Amino acid sequence: MFSLQLRMWLLLSLLFGLIYAVLVVLGHSLLGISNVTFYLFLSIAMMFIQYMIGPKIVEWTMHVRYIKRQENPQLYSMVENLSRRANIPMPRVGISQVPLPNAFAFGRGIRDGRVCVTEGILRLLDEEELKAVLAHEISHLKNRDVLTITLLSVIPMVMYRIAFQFLFYGRRRDERGGGNTALIGLAALIIYFISNLLVLYASRIREYFADKGSIDLGNKPASLASALYKLVYGSARANQESLKEVEGLKAFFVNDPSQSRKEIRELSQLDLDKSGTIDADELRMLNQKELKLSFGDRLLESMSTHPNMLKRIKQLSSYKVGY
């Protein structure tokens, strides 16, 4: 697990080193230091606005209704016990009134945490599977990775705005003797693309963090693996309208619903007894196999917010229960 943490910190350092280098270069060329400062503060301001109103947007989009203990004692107690075990403040517990089975955590910080489940997941998972998923979401809050992703997302945003400014308004600057601004704009666009891929990579890493966190909180790897399998199956059965409704928020989810129809074909081979679950024996057999992903699978994963599901469950098979 330390190697994953190390990669996350190295990625954070790499991305911020990249933005620092680009700003220094632009500051000594045509843009001028004042304009660099303007773009930087503009992006920071936009991220601050997103930080402030982001939770409300998630609530509206996902039709979240927060509950008290008496409304769903089992769900509330699960979140309460897991947050106590994780040593974090008790988050608000919500139910999202959408049929797509999933769960998500969000908030402005660890003291503003919210853990939500959809109505669909409550009908799909058994108690042990649901607890494993909730522990995954609690781990996102404990790891503070929502804030990390927000900070990282500033970088491609800055690059995109610099590229837009130079590529669309560069010709006018060139006519005034400003230099080859289009070339700088193209360079910024390339850096935007690269940095965005790195942010997606960071998003995938945080899913591994949360999976390991769920096991560390006392859940069986097979319980989380089985929950992921059921979530993929449930998402594959969902209608396209349900998938479109949550498209912009899929990075918050336990799995990527838009990839479910492809993933269900891969995961069905793990369910050897066709029980609709993945048990400890099936997980153990996966651990002994060597996965070989095609170039297409690797390319698709590099453009996704979530890891390849087969790789992810393979990683789960190597964990031991934490408590």
Domain definitions of the chain by residue range? 2-316
For each successive 10 residues of the chain (323 residues), what is the average pLDDT? Answer: 65 69 61 57 66 83 94 97 96 94 90 94 96 96 79 69 72 52 77 81 89 95 96 88 75 88 87 89 91 84 89 93 68
Give the model's pLDDT for residue 177.
45
Q: Is the pTM higher than 0.85?
A: no
Give the model's pLDDT for residue 76.
98
Give the model's pLDDT for residue 154.
64
Give the model's pLDDT for residue 170.
57
Give the model's pLDDT for residue 223.
96
Residue matched to tokens 């999202």: 96
How open is the CA angle 12-8-159, to the nearest 5 degrees? 30
Q: What's the CA gap between 318 and 128, in Å, rounded?
A: 19
| Run of H or E including 116 | strand 114-118
The catalytic residue positions are: 137
Return the structure tokens found at 253.
């989810």
> Closest Cα partner for 121 from 273, 255, 216, 263?
255
Give the model's pLDDT for residue 294.
82
Q: What's the CA gap between 153 and 7, in Å, rounded?
A: 17
User: Does residue 26 contact residue 55 with C-beta atoms inside 8 Å?
Assistant: no
